Structure 1
Amino acid sequence: MTSFILRVAAAVALLGAGLVHADLYLHGYRALAVIGPAFLLQAAASLALAVLLPCTDLLLLRLAAAGAAGGALVGFVLSRTVGLFGFTESGLQPAPEALLSVIAEFAVLALLTADVLYRKRLNR
């Protein structure tokens, strides 16, 4: 039962991250070449994975969810350091969306890691 709860919690966090990306896409980012479509793809993937994650215990699905969250975090860091496809931002702008997204994506990674470790401990 704990694995299911961890997957549901990760799905909720992934849903939150996806909604933030969708909101940013709708409110300005869609006008940005490459970045706009990337935000739309990130939102769609996050929302789809959030729906599927509680439904199955497939490792591949958990890896895909972790990849979506981790990929978004990598994009966030790149956009604030070297730039990403010519796009740069600074700090936690736009506020509060940047911070909410980062928190949600770290939560996804932490919850999915906890799930894998929990399942590994059960299989000993």
Structure 2
Amino acid sequence: MDAPSGPVPAKHGVSGTHVAWFWRSAAAVGVAASAVVHLLLWNQGYQDLDVVGPLFLLNAAGGAVLAVLLVVWRHWIPLVGGIVFGATTLLAFVASGTVGFFDVSGPLMFGRDETIAAVAEVLAVVASTVALLREQRR
């Protein structure tokens, strides 16, 4: 019996590439959202703090670059960057509200901006990790 000569039907379902792309995109959204919050906070007075002010601006700029790299550079390095960015930014926030972080200390408070940034940073860590694991499987 001869094989059919027509086009091969497409497989139904979502490929591993699409799933990894979803998680990579989610990581970029998390990193970008955190960067935007840090830029807004820097503009609302954090620029006056000696060490933390420049760190907020660096976070915003680095986050913007990393968010772009996550979607345009299909390599493991931006994914590790997403994990490190989210984890260290979240750790600095927790430190500032518990033991102090340079010139910022006080009770851990979750206003709107802090909540958005914290959720974004958790998203960056989780989504970058899942994308990295999915892409390493291929």
Q: TM-score scaled to structure 1, two decimals?
A: 0.91
Superposition misfits of 4+ residues, deviation over 4 angstroms: none
- What runs of 5+ residues in structure 1 fail to find an aligned partner? none
- What runs of 5+ residues in structure 2 fail to find an aligned partner? 1-17
**Number of residues of Structure 1 aligned to a counterpart in Structure 2:** 121
CA shift in 2, pair 1:89/1:47, >3 Å: farther
2:121 to 98, 105, 112: 105
Q: Does 1:69 align with 2:86?
A: yes
Give me the identity figure in percent. Answer: 30
Higher helix fraction (1 or 2): 1
- For residues 113 and 21 of structure 1, what CA distance do their matches in structure 2 show? 23
- What is the Cα deviation at residue 92 of structure 1? 2.3
CA RMSD of aligned residues (A): 1.3
**Structure 2 counterparts to residues 1-124 of structure 1, below 5 A:** 1-93=18-110, 95-120=111-136, 122-123=137-138
- What is the Cα deviation at residue 89 of structure 1? 3.1
Where 1:45 maps in the other structure, the secondary structure is helix
- What is the Cα deviation at residue 70 of structure 1? 1.1
- For residues 92 and 86 of structure 1, what CA distance do their matches in structure 2 show? 16
Where 1:89 maps in the other structure, the secondary structure is coil
* Bigger Cα Rg: 2
- For residues 106 and 126 of structure 2, what CA distance do their matches in structure 1 show? 26
- For residues 22 and 99 of structure 2, what CA distance do their matches in structure 1 show? 38
Q: TM-score scaled to structure 2, two decimals?
A: 0.82
